[in-house]
Amino acid sequence: MSSPLPPCPHLPAPRAGLDWRALHAFRAADRSGAFYLACLEYGHALWQRGFAARALLCLDRALGADLRGDETELRVQPLPYAAMAWLIAQTPPGVFIGNPRVHFQHYADRMNEPRRDQRRWRAWACWALARAVRPDLAGDPKHQVVEPTLAAIAAALLAHGLPGEAELWRAELARAGEWKKLA
């Protein structure tokens, strides 16, 4: 079976035949390193099958994994900021992705526990990436939330993220050529 979308260079190659059971296995289990990698791999499988929006949701789940920062899985696959930006930027016309900017705006504003602050600021970080790689996407004017500055996002990732996470995000934002333009 040929893939309708090209492989993402920032995600692990998915195993053949990967389906929803890849994540279902973690329903009642530990959601640390193995769950994180499973989310990335299944997200990549969904992307290659043409399900861009569902792939982004898998990357959301990966960013919500319970990680300390010293896991082997993170050395193999860093937090998926580069993958998130790449998928948003590379989604061809006609492939449904929704509006990632609005998605992350709402997601950040409605975050629940566990690790609410960490996950909230990761959503805002992805919102900023979506703005950088797809400036044509409008925010939701009816959603009355104060959109944070890039400096506020970076500071919050320093405070609530994993070691090196803020720098990883900033590097991806700089790669999009938007750090100074959006600040």
Q: Whole-prediction pTM value?
A: 0.90
H helix runs in 13-98, sequence order: 21-24, 33-48, 52-63, 72-76, 81-90
Instruction: Give pairs for 92-96: CB < 8 Å, separation 24+.
Output: 92/5, 95/4, 95/5, 95/50, 95/52, 96/52, 96/53
- Distance CA(21)–CA(1), nearest Å, equals 20
pLDDT digits (tens, 9 = 90+) for 128-167: 999 999 999 998 888 888 899 999 999 999 999 999 999 9
- pLDDT of 102 over the 80 cut: yes
- Distance CA(125)–CA(173), nearest Å, equals 9
- 100 in Cβ contact with 56 (< 8 Å): yes
> Average pLDDT in the 100-122 region?
92
Place of tokens 């492939």: 95
- 78 in Cβ contact with 168 (< 8 Å): yes
Higher-confidence residue of 3 and 16: namely 16
pLDDT digits (tens, 9 = 90+) for 63-88: 999 999 999 999 999 999 999 999 99
- 166 in Cβ contact with 179 (< 8 Å): no
Handedness of CA 6, 11, 13, 14 (dihedral sign): negative
Helix, strand or coil, per DSSP, at residue 109: helix
Ranges of each domain in the chain: 1-98, 99-183
- Distance CA(10)–CA(79), nearest Å, equals 10
Q: How far apart are the first and last CA of the chain?
A: 44
pLDDT digits (tens, 9 = 90+) for 163-179: 999 999 999 999 986 54
